[in-house]
Amino acid sequence: MRIDILTLFPEMFEGPFTHSMVQRARDKGLAEIHLHQLRDYSTNKYRSVDDYPYGGGAGMVMMIEPLARCIEALQAERPYDEVIYMAPDGEVFSQSMANFYSLKQNLIILCGHYKGIDERIREHLITREISLGDFVLSGGELAAAAFTDAVLRLLPGVLGDETSALSDSFQDGLVSPPVYTRPYDFRGWTVPDVLRSGNDKEIAHWRQEQALKRTALRRPGLLEGGN
């Protein structure tokens, strides 16, 4: 898989992309991540990428030309499955979307800044807009990093146990059940006996029951078909 990220702050990805599962995916040759400085696609000597909005108003807007030049230069080199804009008013990201994108080959992710990007980019070059939730970040970099992590960890060969992702929260529409490890008794806080019984059928039943209870308590919308 190849992911091209268009950003004004490529240095923000140094930490998230050089550790844990993302780094493992890269080290194993399962994923390529390419960061593109949008200022390199500006046509003026100041390398400007923002300007005042037509009609006035507070804040600046990312200009159409550098964005279009960058996206189209990449598209001239290879086909892309999707050109994604990380936007606060986009479709809320979900585990099912992470599953979907883990099967793709080439993705472009555009990180916005300021008051957003020229609307014509959204109308003509963006194929999907994704949000982490109903809140605003200073830019799309953190959202792009979260998206990339969620997708790459699902690639076969990234996780130590390839079945681990199947039991993650939201994979079956439920949050995960409680988990425990040694010691059995810590300050009088003990592990449920069923987990030490060795009875796989009873353990599976307990985990399903706990997942349903926890989902109903913490994320009841999932049981109602919501988010």
**Predicted pLDDT at 227:** 53
Rounded to whole angstroms, how far apart are CA atoms 17 and 120? 31
**Predicted pLDDT at 161:** 59
Number of neighbours of residue 58 by Cβ within 10 angstroms: 6
Q: In the chain, what percentage of residues exceed pLDDT 70?
A: 93
Options 3.40.640.10, 1.10.1270.20, 2.30.40.10, 3.40.50.300; CATH of 169-223: 1.10.1270.20
Options 1.10.10.60, 3.40.1280.10, 3.20.20.70, 3.40.50.740; CATH of 2-152: 3.40.1280.10
Mean pLDDT of 132-142: 95
Mean pLDDT of 118-138: 96
The per-residue pLDDT of the chain, averaged, comes to 93
pTM for the predicted model, two decimal places: 0.88
Residue 34 has pLDDT above 60, yes or no: yes
Query: CATH 1.10.1270.20 residue ranges in the chain?
Result: 169-223
Residue 184 has pLDDT above 70, yes or no: yes
Q: How far apart are the first and last CA of the chain?
A: 28
Angle, in degrees to the nearest 10, between helices 141-152 and 20-27: 60
* 82: β partners: 107
**Predicted pLDDT at 166:** 56
**Predicted pLDDT at 6:** 98
The gap from C-alpha 219 to its chain's centroid, in whole angstroms, comes to 20
**Predicted pLDDT at 172:** 74
Residue 170 has pLDDT above 70, yes or no: no
Residue 221 has pLDDT above 60, yes or no: yes
Buried b (16+ CB within 10 A) or exposed e, 76-113: eeeebbebbbbbbebeebebebbeebbeeebbbbbbbb
**Predicted pLDDT at 11:** 97
Cα–Cα distance list, 188 to 18, 115, 178, 183, 185 (Å): 40, 54, 18, 11, 6
Rounded to whole angstroms, how far apart are CA atoms 13 and 28? 19
Query: CATH 3.40.1280.10 residue ranges in the chain?
Result: 2-152
Q: Tens digit of pLDDT for each residue in 63-99?
A: 999 999 999 999 999 999 999 999 999 999 999 999 9
For residues 20, 21, 27, 32, the Cα torsion angle rounded to the nearest 10 degrees is -120
Mean pLDDT of 32-60: 95
**Predicted pLDDT at 173:** 82
**Predicted pLDDT at 124:** 98
